[in-house]
């Protein structure tokens, strides 16, 4: 029935079906024989050990790879951390250096300002305050000396101001030379002298103005006092010159005898 059914379904003969079965059986025997040869060449135990060894090697290699990867990651992390720490230290050092430099600059500036102020104050004191005080004292002393001299001249009736007409001779302007009968007198003749009391000079240089005044007695140039002051203050110069101008006459009538008498009594 089966053969007939197959014959009907496929349209092949019984001989063909039998031939195909035989071919398949023959091929199966060949495969079994070849498999047997292969199994004889590779024993089953050796095959299992080799497979286990290959699997173990693969596991070790994988473990080594993992360990190496972990080590690399750790090294990278350590390097990054070290770099961050070094950078932080460098930043801190730079900040500290900058702060120190700022402090040093501030200190230097403060010291420089203090030194400049001290130098300015010293210069002002030495070249302004002290000279002005010296000139003030000198002018005051000169004025007092002039007044004293004028008073002494007035006491002796030697006038030191410009007068419209000559004055008569005073008792101090006479020398009495007594002869046998005391009737003969020797009189000194009056004369006119320019600027007899004081002489003043002003010397101007690039740095200082030197004032020199000499108060003298005329005729024999007997110097009573000489005041020398140095200043750069033009106001004091003007005041000094005003005193000199106002106190000394331009023309004074008196006699050489009176001058000699005044010199002798002085």
The reported pLDDT for the residue numbered 158 is 42
What are the tokens at 179? 């002869």
Residue 37 in any domain: the answer is yes
Those residues with Cβ within 8 angstroms of residue 241's Cβ, 6 or more apart along the chain or in another chain: 200, 202
Segment-wise mean pLDDT, segments of 10 residues, the chain, 266 residues? 50 82 86 79 58 70 90 94 94 95 96 93 81 74 70 52 40 38 37 39 39 40 42 54 47 39 41
The reported pLDDT for the residue numbered 72 is 93
Q: What angle separates helix 234-247 from helix 130-155, to the nearest 10 degrees?
A: 0
Residue 169 in any domain: the answer is no
Residue 15 in any domain: the answer is yes
Strand-pairing partners, residue 213, are 200, 227
**Residue 13 DSSP one-character state:** -
What are the tokens at 38? 């292969």
Residue 35 in any domain: the answer is yes
The reported pLDDT for the residue numbered 14 is 85
Distance CA 214, CA 197 (A): 9
Number of domains in the chain: 1
Residue 166 in any domain: the answer is no
Q: Domain limits at 30? A: 2-41
The reported pLDDT for the residue numbered 99 is 96
Distance CA 35, CA 228 (A): 144
Q: In 10 A of CB 250, how many CB atoms?
A: 10
- 3-state SS assignment for residue 231: strand
pTM of the predicted model as reported, rounded to 2 decimal places? 0.29
Strand-pairing partners, residue 210, are 203, 230
The reported pLDDT for the residue numbered 229 is 45
The reported pLDDT for the residue numbered 180 is 37
**Measured torsion, CA atoms of residues 102, 106, 111, 115, in degrees rounded to the nearest 10:** 120
């Amino acid at each position: 029935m089966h053969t007939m059914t197959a014959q009907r379904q496929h349209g092949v003969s019984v001989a063909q079906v039998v031939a195909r079965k035989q071919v398949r059986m023959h091929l199966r025997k060949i495969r079994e024989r070849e498999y047997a040869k292969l199994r004889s060449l590779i024993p089953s135990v050796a095959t299992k050990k080799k497979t286990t060894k290959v699997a173990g090697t693969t596991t070790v290699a994988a473990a080594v790879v993992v360990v190496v990867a972990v080590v690399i990651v750790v090294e990278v992390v350590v390097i990054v951390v070290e770099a961050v720490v070094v950078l932080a230290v460098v930043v801190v050092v730079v900040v500290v250096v900058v702060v120190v430099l700022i402090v040093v600059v501030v200190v230097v500036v403060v010291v420089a300002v203090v030194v400049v102020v001290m130098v300015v104050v010293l210069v002002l004191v030495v070249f302004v305050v002290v000279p002005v005080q010296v000139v003030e004292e000198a002018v005051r002393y000169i004025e007092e000396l002039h007044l004293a001299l004028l008073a002494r001249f007035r006491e002796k009736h030697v006038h030191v101001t410009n007068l419209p007409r000559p004055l008569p001779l005073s008792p101090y302007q006479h020398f009495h030379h007594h002869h046998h009968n005391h009737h003969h007198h020797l009189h000194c003749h009056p004369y006119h002298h320019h600027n007899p009391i004081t002489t003043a000079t002003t010397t101007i240089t690039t740095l200082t103005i030197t004032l020199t005044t000499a108060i003298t007695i005329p005729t024999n140039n007997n110097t009573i006092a000489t005041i020398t002051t140095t200043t750069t203050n033009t106001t004091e110069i003007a005041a000094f010159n005003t005193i000199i101008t106002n106190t000394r006459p331009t023309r004074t009538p008196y006699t050489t005898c009176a001058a000699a008498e005044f010199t002798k009594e002085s």
